[in-house]
Structure 1
Amino acid sequence: MPGHSMFSLPGCLRGAAFWVLVYSYCLLCACTALVKLLCSILMRQHRTFHRMNREVAPGCLNDPFLGTHCYVRIKDSGLRFHYVAAGERGKPLMLLLHGFPEFWYSWRHQLREFKSTYRVVALDLRGYGETDSPTNKDCYKLDCVIVDIKEIVDSLGYTKCVLVGHDWGGMIAWLVAICYPEMVTRLVILSFPHPAVFTEYILRHPSQLIKSGYYFFFQMPWFPELMYSVNDFKLFKDLFTSRATGIVKHGCRFTEEDMEAYLYIFSQPGALSGPLNHYRNILSCLPLKHHKVTMPTLLLWGENDAFVEVEMAEQTRVYVKNYFQLSVLSHASHWLQQDQPELVNTLIWTFLEEDRFHSKD
């Protein structure tokens, strides 16, 4: 039948077809990973399970020019959150939400840049870094994470903020903006489309399904944690340094100290399970019941993003019922704010200064 697809099936069949697809692809990803692990054991048995001992934090994580390390305990969950803050108290709040597999340090360039005008707060999300990491997988449902952000804004003494999110932090930022529109004055998203666009696009485009294969692989217990840690976190390192997925721009590549900062955080006991548990709950509030984003929005995208296809960026426009600006950065990878920090900062400044002329507020 012309135009026939999973989207034309009755609701119950569509749901069943979706879950068959999810678990089938999960099994395929797991088998692929298992083959890679077995090859590694056969070829480099003595190195496969070797890990460097990382007990001392690299100096860059305590650089006073990046800001002050702080902690806040929120009422709803009782969890203690870690964040780094720069800029004077009382200035407008700019809240930064990192992606996977990252932590507050991914915003080091923005902490320096925006502290002149904002109280800039780079958060460690639930389960990441020095923030508490519940062991129960259900504690990472998106509903819980969204409430985290609202309570953190309240605990910091603010009612509104400029909300900035990258990758998985972008997903969370979209949902916060949808659920608590009164709290978000301006929304800046890097490298992630509106969640409704993502869920529809991934099922219609096999190429994006393949690029998002890790979502399905992460549904498995313990095995993804193992794969990310073998060969002294080689897979983890490759995400940021390989030609296919990493930062390749000269002068912006990870220094040895930058990489060690990431490895120090994620090599701590149990440090991978919290971040992966976010993905194990990705479908907890999808598909969305509400879609509209009502505040001015800037969406930044890397032309060479290895994980999300640029076609989703333009499709996001329909869900923003206010001024919407899209900028696709030439030769940029998925790790935008670290790949091209000067350009990203300039685009954010321009948006914050100019969008008032377009705002429908």
Structure 2
Amino acid sequence: MARLLHNLLLFTVRLALKIRVFGYWSLIYSYCALCTCIALLKLWWNIILRPSKTFQWGIRETPPACLNDTSLGTHCYVRIKESGLRFHYVAAGERGKPLMLFLHGFPEFWFSWRHQLREFKSEFRVVAVDMRGYGESDVPASADSYRLDYLLTDVKDIVEYLGYNRCFLVGHDWGGIISWLFAIHYPEMVTKLIVLNCPHPSVFTEYCLRSPSQLLKSSYIFFFQLPRFPEFMLSINDFKALKCLFTSRSTGIGRKGCWLTSEDMEAYLYVFSQPGALTGALNYYRNIFSFLPLTQQDVKSPVLLLWGERDAFLELDMAETCRLYIKNHFRLNIISGASHWLQQDQPDIVNTLIWTFLKEGEGRKTYRN
């Protein structure tokens, strides 16, 4: 009898877990369907208003001159033996100086760190990477190739290939997510962690689950789960949606900071108009639910978190909550009037705050080594 009751209880628990998982995924795909319907309505409206321009897009054949600006550094390539992938990066500063590694977000590439490459090459070996699936780095075709463990291994392998066993890690947006998790899983390899407009992954998970406003701001994540259709919507009308991310009044750069020049914008359009470029970038999102919920792990490295007050994608309250997951020195700077694209929007302020953080306390001795 006791065995029967035990088996019945075990069956009930397993059934409850399956129902919970089913409900979780049903909610995700229902919301995904809603986002798709909204996107289709927008597409239909564009076709009615401007039918000749809606389906206009094409590959940019010639890179703009700014991508070959020698003041930013040297273009280099590395093929990682374990994954077999070739990575592109831009490096400046003397070899042997402490490594400062920059990881970009979506939809960006190494060029988003142009202001920081110029600024920090005097004291560091600065390296801005095109992450897996972006820019001139290899673009694996399978969505499964963008799993979290692969992305973290990429960073580890690149640091070691460059001849270092630790670095100052700087990440923005998706690069911020990877930076947080790299500092958690490889604490011995991160001297100091600098994150721009990206909360600790556990904070993001908690806010999405209990904050309707954050869930609404993150609705694009659900839309990006669809195959092919998001790529189509981002590229129609000569990549209008992509342009709007960087230039619109609600989400764009330049309300109180640096404007994105027409040549800068062409650099982005050149990169993301190449075959497969949007798919590689979107595949990060197509694996996001395999990352979440993450175990609540603490960061042991000193952390600087920079946050644009005008971020249209993330709740400002998340920034302060990150303090709960940091077991070392933590500095938070919220920059008034700045957008999500912080390092391009307010480069002078960002660079000054990073310098201050690098030279604080014991960190000053470390970064000189």
Question: Scaled by the length of structure 1, what TM-score is found?
Answer: 0.94
User: Structure 1 stretch 193-202 or stretch 244-253: which is displaced more?
Assistant: 244-253
Which whole-Å CA distance do the structure 2 matches of 1:64 and 1:245 have between them?
A: 30
- Structure 1 segment 123-272 matched on structure 2, within 5 A: 123-249=129-255, 252-272=258-278
Question: Scaled by the length of structure 2, what TM-score is found?
Answer: 0.92
Which whole-Å CA distance do the structure 1 matches of 2:26 and 2:226 have between them?
A: 15
> Aligned-pair distance for 1:19?
1.6
SS in 2 for 1:144: helix
1:40 to 37, 40, 46: 46
Which whole-Å CA distance do the structure 1 matches of 2:363 and 2:148 have between them?
A: 34
> Aligned-pair distance for 1:20?
2.0
SS in 1 for 2:194: strand
Please say if 1:325 is aligned against 2:327.
Answer: no
Question: 1:7 corresponds to which residue?
Answer: none
SS in 2 for 1:162: strand
Q: Give 5+ residue unaligned stretches, structure 2.
A: 1-15
Residue correspondences, number: 350
Question: Over aligned residues, Cα RMSD in angstroms?
Answer: 1.5
Which whole-Å CA distance do the structure 2 matches of 1:129 and 1:20 have between them?
A: 34
1:279 to 274, 285, 292: 285
SS in 2 for 1:354: coil
Question: 1:25 corresponds to which residue?
Answer: 31
Percent of pairs identical after alignment?
65
- When Rg is computed on C-alpha atoms for both structures, the one with the higher figure is 2
Which whole-Å CA distance do the structure 1 matches of 2:70 and 2:63 have between them?
A: 14
SS in 2 for 1:233: helix
User: Structure 1 stretch 241-250 or stretch 178-187: which is displaced more?
Assistant: 241-250
Question: 2:119 corresponds to which residue?
Answer: 113
Does the Cα contact within 8 Å between 2:309 and 2:338 map onto a contact in 1? yes
Provide Cα deviations, 1:138-179, integer angstroms capped at 9, x if missing partner.
Answer: 000111101100001011111000000000100010111111
Which whole-Å CA distance do the structure 1 matches of 2:28 and 2:58 have between them?
A: 35
Does the Cα contact within 8 Å between 1:323 and 1:355 map onto a contact in 2? no
Does the Cα contact within 8 Å between 1:68 and 1:86 map onto a contact in 2? yes
SS in 2 for 1:281: helix
Q: From the two aligned structures, give the one with the greater helix fraction.
A: 2
Does the Cα contact within 8 Å between 1:300 and 1:328 map onto a contact in 2? yes
Does the Cα contact within 8 Å between 1:96 and 1:123 map onto a contact in 2? yes
1:63 to 40, 45, 69: 69
Q: Give 5+ residue unaligned stretches, structure 1.
A: 1-9
User: Structure 1 stretch 19-28 or stretch 345-354: which is displaced more?
Assistant: 19-28
Does the Cα contact within 8 Å between 1:178 and 1:290 map onto a contact in 2? no
Provide Cα deviations, 1:101-152, integer angstroms capped at 9, x if missing partner.
Answer: 0000000000000000000000000000000000011000111101100001
Does the Cα contact within 8 Å between 1:71 and 1:80 map onto a contact in 2? yes
Does the Cα contact within 8 Å between 1:296 and 1:355 map onto a contact in 2? no
